[in-house]
Every structure is written in structure tokens, then in C-alpha cells.
Amino acid sequence: MTEFLELDDVDSLGVGAVGQPGNRAFYLQARTDSTQLTVLVEKEQVALLAAEAVAFLDRLADDYPELPVLLTPTEAELREPTVPLFRARLIGLGFDPERELVLLELRERPEDEDDESDPLDGEDDDEEEGYCARVYASRAQVRAMAARGAAAVEGGRPPCPLCEMPMDPGGHQCPRWN
């Protein structure tokens, strides 16, 4: 059964990486006065979320003009402890026009999400769905999170100029040299 978590009008929204480039874990955090939600995400999810969030907010600005509130990417940094409640398999964006808050929905999926369940086995698919976190944040918080996420992704290992694969500090065996 899905367990829903809702953080309404968060105080801060953060994203970042912990560890050394090549061996990092990426997290997304939402915080209120009494709660801190940390969710494990993939590097590619952070990169896509950063790009899509900015494009989404730019499209919204036509119908819902944005007040010029600027938060710096440092305001969207992770805070300790970075112990995740779950791993996000699906991330979605939405908008609440009445409150003018951005909805960030993070869903956990079962490990065997590609397997089709047998309707005769008696199991209820809802029992395996895990967590669903709904985080409501301001557009400025989402923009700061997107900037911080993009910087975290770029802070990894430099790409090889020939094959564009990440280069390790100890060296790189480029497949194009074969």
C-alpha cells in the first residue's frame, strides 16, 4: 500500500551529492520546522529535474507572473543527516494555481517494476508501491534547487575529450585509443 507524505509550503528545498566524484550518491531534501525528508535520487534524475524545472517555471511565468525573489544555490544545499527514507523511481512536477506553489512528487517503485504481476496470485499491487512524497515549494525555492542540482551534476568527473566518458583521477582507458 502506498504511504503518502505531504510537506506543505516547505522552508527549504535542497539537492546535492555526497561522496567523491565517481562514487557519489545524490539526494533531494525538503525541510519544514519539524520535518526533514531526504530521498535518494540518481544523477541523471537530478540533471533532468534541474532542466525541466526551469523550463516548467518559465512556461508558468506567462500565465502566473513570478515575483523577483532570488534565492542562491547555497540556500538549496543538503543538510545532515542525509539518510534517505526511500529511492525515488519517478519524479513529477505540478503547480497549484490557487497558492502559486510548485508540486514536486517523488514516488518509490518496487524493484521488479517491469515484471507483470499475476492476477491469480492474490497479491494486491498497492502493497508494493512504497512511498509517495508530495512537496509544495515556492518557485524561487525550485529555481534555487535546480541551479544547485545542475552544479552538483557538473561537479563530477571531467569527461574525456575523445569519448566523453567520465575520467577517473587515476587515469582513463579511452575506448577510442583501441
Percent of the chain whose pLDDT exceeds 70: 87
Q: Give 40 or 33, the one with higher predicted confidence.
A: 40
Average pLDDT, the chain: 85
Burial track 95-108 (b if 16+ CB lie within 10 A, e otherwise):
beeeeebbbbebbb
**What is the C-alpha end-to-end distance of the chain, expressed in Å?**
51
> Whole-prediction pTM value?
0.80
What confidence score (pLDDT) does residue 126 get?
A: 46
